[in-house]
Amino acid sequence: MIKAAGAVLILLAGTMIGFLQAARFAKRPRQLRELIHGLQRLETEIGYGYTPLPEAMRRTGAHMAEPAASIFRLTSDRLESPDAPAFEACWEETLAGCWPGTAMRKTELATLRRLGSTLGMSDREDQLKHLRLAQQQMQAEEDGARDDQARYEKLSRSLGILIAALVVILMV
Amino acid sequence: MLKLIAHLLPPELYERLRRLPDSVHAGLEEIRIREERPLEIVSLDKSGFLTEDGGWSSNPQQAFRPSGELCRKLLGRLTGHSLYAMEEELRKGYITVTGGHRVGLAGRTVLERGDVKAIRDIGGFNIRIAREAVGAADKLAQQLADAARRSIHSTLLIGPPRMGKTTMLRDLARIVSSGAWPDTAMAGWPGRRVAIVDERSEIAASVKGVPSFDVGPRTDVMDACPKAEGMMMMLRSMSPEVIMADEIGRPEDAAAVREAAHSGVAVVATAHASSLEEARGRPILRELLHDGAFSRCVILGRSRSGFEARVVALQHAAPTAREPTAARAAGEAGT
C-alpha cells in the first residue's frame, strides 16, 4: 500500500518537473519578445520624444506584461528615489532582483547589462544605436529560444513522466 | 544657500557640504567639482577647498576629492539620467536648472564638421548658485526713469564679469514691467510690456519656457534665442515697449538695437567693458553709444562697500530720428 502511494508520488513529482521545464521553454521566447517590444518603445521615447529616462522607463513599463514590465517600472522607481545612484547601478540592481523570476538566461542578461552601461550616458544617435544593437541580439536569442521550444518543450514533458516511471520500475 | 541646490547634489556630497561653517554658507557663490581633484568652494568672492570632514581650508592638500562615481551620480541628477535629452544644453556647455541655478560643464567635446556637438566624459562641474536680488536695482531705476515717456531710458549697462549686470537687468525688468517704481515721483506710472531676449538663459533662467525669476507680470521671455534674431522677433510679434538683452557686442546685435530704438522701443542691454572709455574702444559699442541708440550708460563696479553703479547721461543721444519725447528727455539729461 505504502509502496503504491510512493510510486504515485514519484510519478506525480516527475510529471510536475517535466511540465515546469516545458513551461520554461515556452515562456522564454514570449518574455524575450516582450522585452524587445519594450526596447522598441524605449527607442521611440528617446529618439523622438527626448523623454528623460525615468519617465521613458515608466511609460514603457506601463504598456507591458510581467515580468518585463517590472524591470522597467522598478528601474524608474529607483531612479526617482531621493538618493538615486547613477543609472547603471539602478539598472543592475533591478536586473539582479527581477532575473530569477523570469525564464530568461545569462546571455540576455549580459545584453541588458551592456545596454545599461550606455543608456542615458550619450547623445541621441548613440543611444539609438545601442538600443538597436540590443534589440538585434535579443532577436537572435528569441529565434534560438523558439527552436529550443519546438525541440524540447514536448520532450521535457514526456521525459519527466518517463524518468519517474523508470524510477518506479527500478524501485519495485 | 545650500538648501537651494540640495535637490541637485548626491546625498553624501550634500552632507559634507552641510558641515561647512555658517559664514561660508551665507555667501556661497560657486561649488566647483572636479573629478579626483580638490573640491573648490567660492564664497563671498573668496576661493577655498572643502576638507574631508566638511571644513573649509585654503590648502588643496587636505581637500576632499570627489570620486568618478560621485561625479557620475551628480551628472545623473543634473540631467535626469538622460544626456540625450540635453543636447542643446551640452552644446552650449551649461545646464540651467530649476531655481535659475546654472551648472557649467567641462569635459571632452565631440565635434561634428568642426562644430561642437556635445560634451562627453564630463569631469568638471561649476554649480553657480543663483540669487534673486529683488530690489537690487531700486536706486538705479530712479536714475534711469524717463519722466517724459513715463518709462525707462534706453540704457547700456557696462561692467566686468560678475559685477551684477544681469542681476540689475533682471530687476529693472521687474520694476518696469510691474510699474513698481521705487520713488513716489513715479507712482502711478503704468507697467510696461517688457520683452527679454535671454540668449544664455541667465536673465530669467527659464526652465521649459517658464521664468524661474520674478521678471514682472508684463514680461515675455524668448529663451535661448540669439539676441539679434530674438529682438527682431519680439519687435514683430510681441509689441514690446521695452526690450532687454544681455551682452550685446556683435554687429548684428547693434543693428537690432538700432532697429528697436528707431521704432520707439526703449532698449536696455548689457555689455562687457570695465569703463566707458573701454566701451568706446570697441567699435560696435562706440557706434551705439554715439548714434543715440542709448541715452544712458551705467558703469557697474564693486567697491569695498559693495556694488556701485554710476549713471552717465549720453549727450550725443539727441539728434537721431527718435520720437520727439525721447529727444526732449535727452535734452534735459544731466542727472
What is the per-residue pLDDT across B275-332, written as a single tens digit (0 to 9) for each?
Answer: 888 888 888 888 888 888 898 999 998 777 777 888 888 875 444 444 445 444 444 4
Which residues does chain B have within 8 Å of residue A83's beta carbon, measured at their own beta carbons? Answer: 10-11
Pairwise CB contact (< 8 Å): B84 & A123: yes
Average pLDDT over residues A158-169: 90
A117 interfaces chain B, CB cutoff of 8 Å = no
Question: A81 in contact with B at a CB cutoff of 8 Å?
Answer: no
Contact B25, B3 (CB under 8 A): no
CB-based burial label for B71 (10 Å; 0-12, 13-18, 19+): buried
Largest CA-CA distance found in chain B, in angstroms, rounded:
65
Across the interface, of A53, A122, A123, the residue whose CB is closest to B80 is A53
Give pLDDT tens digits for B200-255.
888 888 877 888 889 999 999 998 889 999 999 999 999 999 999 988 888 899 99
Q: In chain B, positions 5-24, which contact chain A (CB-CB < 8 Å)?
A: 10-11
* Cβ of residue A51 closer than 8 Å to a chain B Cβ: yes
Whether the CB-CB separation of B157 and B171 falls below 8 Å is answered with no
Mean pLDDT score, A124-146: 91
What digits encode the pLDDT tens for the residues A96-124? 988 888 888 888 899 999 998 888 888 88
CATH number for region B2-128: 3.30.450
**CATH number for the domain whose boundaries are B138-331:** 3.40.50.300
> Binning pLDDT at 50, 70 and 90, where does residue B335 land?
very low
Residue of chain B whose Cα is closest to the Cα of A86: B73
Q: What is the pLDDT of residue B288?
A: 87
Q: In terms of C-beta density within 10 A (0-12 exposed, 13-18 middle, 19 or more buried), how is residue B262 classed?
A: middle
What is the per-residue pLDDT for B20? 87
**CB contact A80 to B (< 8 Å):** no
Nearest CA of chain B to the CA of A75: how many Å? Answer: 12
For residues A64-75, average pLDDT: 88
Interface residue B303 vs chain A (CB under 8 A): no
| pLDDT score, position B331 | 47
Please spell the DSSP secondary structure of A31-65, one letter per residue: HHHHHHHHHHHHHHHHHTT---HHHHHHHHHHTS-
Cβ distance B82 to A79 less than 8 Å, yes or no, reads no
Contact B76 A120 (CB under 8 A): yes
- Give the mean model confidence (pLDDT) for residues A4-26: 90
Judge residue B251's burial from the number of C-beta atoms within 10 Å of its C-beta, 0-12 exposed, 13-18 middle, 19 or more buried.
exposed
CB proximity under 8 Å: B 102-141 to A: 110, 117-118, 120
In whole angstroms, give the CA distance from residue A21 to residue A29. 14
Nearest CA in chain B to A124: B84
- CB within 8 Å: B77 and A123: no
Q: Is the pLDDT of residue B22 over 70?
A: yes
The minimum CA-CA distance between A43 and chain B, rounded to whole Å, is: 12
Query: Nearest by CB to B81, which of A52, A122, A123?
Result: A52
pLDDT band at B334 (very low <50, low <70, confident <90, very high): very low
| Distance between CA atoms of residues B328 and A51, nearest Å | 54
B81 contact A CB<8A = yes
User: Under a CB-based contact definition with an 8 Å cutoff, are residues B124 and B107 in contact?
Assistant: yes
Cα separation, A169 vs A152, in Å, equals: 25
Vertex B251 angle, CA B246 and B253, to 5°: 30
Mean pLDDT lowest among A57-66, B81-90, B157-166, B317-326: B317-326
Q: Which of B193, B222, B197 is nearest to B209 (CA)?
A: B222
Chain B residues near residue A77 by CB distance under 8 angstroms: none
ipTM above 0.95, yes or no: no
Query: How many CB pairs below 8 A link A and B?
Result: 57
Residue ranges of domains in chain B: 2-128, 138-331
| A127 interfaces chain B, CB cutoff of 8 Å | yes
B73/chain A closest Cα distance in angstroms: 5
- Rounded to whole angstroms, how far apart are CA atoms B6 and B163? 26
Provide, as residue numbers in chain A, all residues whose Cβ is less than 8 Å from the Cβ of B75: 86
- Measured distance CA(B133)–CA(B205) in Å, rounded: 14
Q: What is the mean pLDDT of chain B?
A: 85
Distance from CA of A55 to the nearest CA of B (A): 9
